[in-house]
A and B are shown apart, each in its own frame.
Chain A
Amino acid sequence: MPISEDIRRKYTPTIGIECHVQLKTKTKLFSAAGNDARAAAPNTLISHIDTAMPGALPVLNEKALELAIRAAFALNTRPQRHSYFERKHYFYPDSPAGYQISQLHSPIIVDGSVEITTEGQKKSISINRVQLEADAGKTTHPAGADYSLVDLNRAGTPLLEIVSEPQIHSPAEAKAYTRELYLLMKYADVSDVDLYHGNMRFDINISVSPQADVLGKRTEVKNLNSFRSVENAVTHEIDRQIELLEKGRPPEQETRGWDEAKQKTVPQRLKEEAQDYRYMPEPDIPPIELDDEYIEKIKSKMPKLPSEIREILNKLSISDNVVEGVLDNDSICRSVMAQIDKADEISAKRLVFWLLQSQRKNEDRDLSDYDLNQASIIKLSAMVDAGQLNSNAAQAVFDEMMNSPTGPEEIAIAKNLMQVSDDAEIEKIVTAVLEKNPAAAEDVKNGELKAIGFLVGQVMAASQGQANPQVAQKLIKQQLGL
């Protein structure tokens, strides 16, 4: 049953999001086994610690700690000087020790915020906590088999669990929040944020209520891995709950999954047992004590965050949607920022558009593979300034520059793209064009300025695109005595 806007307006949805972010470390959180399981055969990235051999002790990966500290700055806060790990107990084959090492009572981050923009409105979503923890392995149940398969490659992968306050109130805000979190983790260099491989997974708590200040019964939709599925799942779940409430049947508190094919949330057949995880301080890992000097050292090496990049690009009067496009492609963004650091802003701005165009033409192309030569970009930009290249020609030269180490001038000459700005040369073409098109010339004389565009086009065609259109227009007007 579709819900009408009128009915939807009666209810306030309230949403909180938990996000698991996989940290980009070489090794696992507590062992020296490799962390990138994407192309690895099952159970090849494991150590005595990951398989919970007798006597094996976890040892904290310092790089993971550093990334967690970076995450704190990305979330607009500082890490706790004191935090500690705890054991969360449960029996399952993907958790070989019988417990997961996590943080409950004293996590590394206890506050923070994420600023989102929806429909031009800025809003800050508070962070409740961020805990550093080890991922579990993966269990699969082959169809028809009387056994299950366990792959421990992922067991022990370092995760940050970022828990928001329930301050999100629409599908659009939910999407904006998850995208912003993604950008923050990417630009702070905390995670590879490979969504396809589950580097970021979202669990969403949703409730709706007819009274804004009273929360309804919530459901949890688990394991979403794209912004769009977050938005769609929230939309569907809000409507589903409203529908139930309209029928006088309040929704049950439960865990649901997202069926991507059917675009709806579905109940998850989980064993309904109240779990008691029996949290206990992890005695094998001393508490984390961070001193200010160490924290400041990491802060001083923080890369530019999205907010700062937005500010810089906005100053170049690049429009918001182009800025967001740049942010979505970090290799473009890094090139542009490098350009801004080293060169004039005009060439940086041109670079933004050249790169976005180039990317549009060839989406498979990974721009980070190209080593953009700063000097060549400055030169290319200077050629545009000097009127030697029009915008199409400049883009063509740029595209070619991405394929070869040749300089822009050589490319422009080889491809015959250099604009002719030499008045004498264009003069001759203009004379010929005017002779061939007396009617249009007459129109221009009579004030029909549209016709001048046609004449300029003819000059451009006659010069095989090399004439500078501004010069051509100036000379046409001159010759017609305007």
Chain B
Amino acid sequence: MDWLPIADIAGKVQNGELKAVELVRKSLAAIEENKNHDAIISTMEARALERAGQIDESPTGRLAGVPFITKDNFLTFGGKTTAASNILRPFEAPYQATAIERLEAEGAICVAKANLDAFAHGSSTENSDWFVTKHPADPSRVPGGSSGGSAAAVALRMAPFALGTDTGGSIRLPASFCGVVGYKPTYGLVSRSGVIAMASSTDVIGPLARSVDDAALVLDVMSGKDELDSTTIDRDEKPYSGAQEEIAGKKIGVIREYLAQGLQPGVEKIVRESIDKLKSAGATVEEVSLPSLPLALAVYYIVCPAEVSSNLSRYDGQRYGYSSPDAKDLDDSYELSRQQGFGAEAKRRIMIGTHVLSSGYYDAYYKKAQTVRTKIINEFEEAFAKYDFLVGPVAPMTAFKIGERSGDPLQMYLTDIMTVAANMSGNPAISVPAGEAEGLPVGFQIVGPLRGDRQLLGIARKFEAIRT
């Protein structure tokens, strides 16, 4: 029971061949059927069916009647928004994220909220305060994270697409693990308004879908300047979906630092095959070195916790969300609400972030990290002066076993090693399914120049066509 391409679904809803209500029911049925994977935190059945009924009465919009699932860190009506955290367990959003509003304005229907590592802190969904999402192909394994619920939901065909957030790789990694397309746009291309912040300077919103073109169409609807988010940028004047690029004649740089790492052999094999396919299709492929990339993860784990510690300050048990019933006074209430409401990983990041920002340590950590971040940005810029695209693996491994890495936070952090750099620099990047290693999907990462989303989606579309 697969879904048609998104544009076809919308077309058939528009001409009455398909009913939005039936599509929502189909989505809800698929969610129910795959319940054992724990990809979904909550469904919004009543609101989704109501909206579907309205759309069937007047079926318009580029996404008319298309059901979708969103990571539970997007504020939506029709149910709770929890970020998979205890501290937001009772939270009902008073407004909706701009991305959700834009999708709804074109007729898309949000049916469910997907699981994630609480506050998007993690790479496996094991940090969710609800449950661990099980890999679509092997329930003993993780789906990746932090958008693991979204990736698993698309892989399990619960909806034609899902939304995720990517702060250090949180869309691309689970996309690679689950065998779906995961797109991280240029920083600022999609409004962050109404999305629970993790690290504001690297948070990016993007689609997870079954094809590059589906992802591009969703981006078409969501992207562009938003007066509610001052860091947003103008979208491309031409549509992202259907973007035409030829592989022949393109100069492609293979990031040496990523192939030098200890890649799982099956992953390396597929990445090298993918590179060969690009060559055979007529691209000029060379190895390129970005010498500061090995530092990107260290930089990320300073900048990100610093922003996390600041962004999580508002969850103080006073205005909304969980408030400890045991508190005797204000300080008590702050301490107990946060102590009981945050999980171990959130606390770890708050501690690290508070430390690196404190007086006496700021220059040694945060400031130095920002200096290296600037170097990374410059190295990407230099590389894109020579190459049209950069390519490499998404992660060194395929989906790992539940519990395999969760005991050691550093092992977990290492899963982001090939994705964080694009977050530090803001460049767009995509994970496209490239094959399987020992029965588990492997994604191929293509990175584009800043604001080069259209070209990147165009080339990813071509790669998708030649990958098998």
Chain A residues engaging chain B, CB cutoff 8 angstroms:
48, 51-60, 87, 89, 91, 93, 96-99, 148, 276, 278-280, 283-286
Contacts and interface: CB of A to CB of B under 8 A. Distances in A.
Contact of B306 (A48, A53, A91, A280): A280
A153 B309 CA distance: 26
B357 A98 contact: no
Contact of B230 (A52, A97, A278, A285): A285
6 contacts: A55-B75, A56-B193, A57-B192, A57-B230, A278-B359, A285-B231
Contacts of A89: 310, 313, 357
Nearest to B195: A55
A283 B192 CA distance: 12
Interface in B298-341: 306-307, 309-310, 313-316, 318-320, 330, 334
B229 A57 contact: yes
B432 interface: no
A54 B83 contact: yes
Instruction: Classify chain B's interface size.
Output: 35 or more
Given A57-B230, A59-B228, A87 B310 contact: yes
Contacts of B310: 87, 89, 98-99, 278, 280
Contacts of B244: none
A225 B194 CA distance: 39
B378 interface: no
Contacts of B313: 89, 91, 97-99
B81 A54 contact: yes
Contacts of A54: 75, 81, 83, 88, 91, 93, 196-197, 314-315
B193 A55 contact: yes
A283 B354 contact: no
B366 A57 contact: no
B230 A60 contact: yes
A133 to B, nearest CB: 16
Contacts of A285: 230-231
A283 B95 contact: no
Given A91-B316, A284-B231, A55 B201 contact: no
Contacts of A53: 75, 93-95, 320
A94 B197 CA distance: 21
A55 B97 contact: yes
A54 B228 CA distance: 13
A280 B357 contact: yes
Contacts of B81: 54
A278 B195 contact: no
Given A51-B319, A89-B357, 10 more contacts: A48-B95, A53-B75, A55-B97, A55-B196, A87-B310, A98-B310, A278-B357, A278-B359, A280-B366, A285-B230
Nearest to B312: A98
A285 B91 CA distance: 26
A270 to B, nearest CB: 15
Contacts of B228: 57, 59
Give the top 5 A-B pairs by smallest Cβ distance, nearest first. A98-B313, A283-B200, A278-B357, A283-B201, A52-B314
B374 interface: no
Interface in B342-372: 354, 357-359, 362, 366
B2 interface: no
B227 interface: yes
A148 B357 contact: no
A280 B307 contact: yes
A96 B317 CA distance: 10
Contacts of B307: 280, 283
Nearest to A150: B318
Contacts of B334: 91
Contact of A284 (B74, B93, B230, B320): B230
A87 B362 CA distance: 14
B311 to A, nearest CB: 9
A183 to B, nearest CB: 34
Contacts of B88: 54
Contacts of B75: 53-55
A96 B83 CA distance: 19
A98 B95 contact: no
Contacts of A58: 230
Contact of A98 (B91, B314, B362): B314
Interface string B182-221: 0000000000111111011100000000000000000000
Contacts of A97: 313-314
Contacts of A51: 319
A280 B74 CA distance: 25
Nearest to B88: A54
Nearest to B318: A93
A370 B97 CA distance: 49
Contacts of B330: 93, 148
A98 B353 CA distance: 14
A87 B83 CA distance: 23
A478 to B, nearest CB: 82
A430 B371 CA distance: 95
Among B93, B95, B194, B310, the one with the most A-chain Cβ atoms within 10 Å of its Cβ is: B310
Nearest to A49: B228
Contacts of A60: 230
A259 to B, nearest CB: 26
A259 B357 CA distance: 38
Contacts of B314: 52, 54, 96-98
A53 B195 CA distance: 10
Interface string B86-115: 001001011101000000000000000000
Contacts of B362: 278-279
Contacts of A148: 330
Contacts of B93: 53-55
A97 B312 CA distance: 8
Among A96, A285, A286, the one with the most B-chain Cβ atoms within 10 Å of its Cβ is: A96
Contacts of A278: 309-310, 354, 357-359, 362
A65 to B, nearest CB: 12
A284 B200 contact: yes
Nearest to B193: A57
A93 B334 CA distance: 10
B316 A98 contact: yes
A87 B200 CA distance: 13
Contacts of B306: 280
Nearest to B335: A91
Given A91-B313, A276-B359, A286 B231 contact: yes
B49 to A, nearest CB: 26
Contacts of B193: 55-57
Nearest to A277: B359
Contacts of A48: 94-95
A278 B360 CA distance: 10
A155 B75 CA distance: 23
A285 B97 CA distance: 18
A59 B192 CA distance: 12
A97 B310 CA distance: 9
Contacts of A98: 310, 313-314, 316
A89 B227 CA distance: 26
A59 B201 CA distance: 15
A144 to B, nearest CB: 16
A91 B354 CA distance: 13
B356 to A, nearest CB: 9
Contacts of A286: 230-231
Contacts of B227: 59
B256 to A, nearest CB: 31
A170 B309 CA distance: 45
A151 B201 CA distance: 31
A158 B313 CA distance: 22
Contact of A55 (B192, B309, B318): B192
Contacts of B230: 57-60, 284-286
Contacts of B200: 283-284
A358 to B, nearest CB: 48
Interface in B383-427: none
A280 B305 CA distance: 12
Nearest to A48: B95
B191 to A, nearest CB: 9
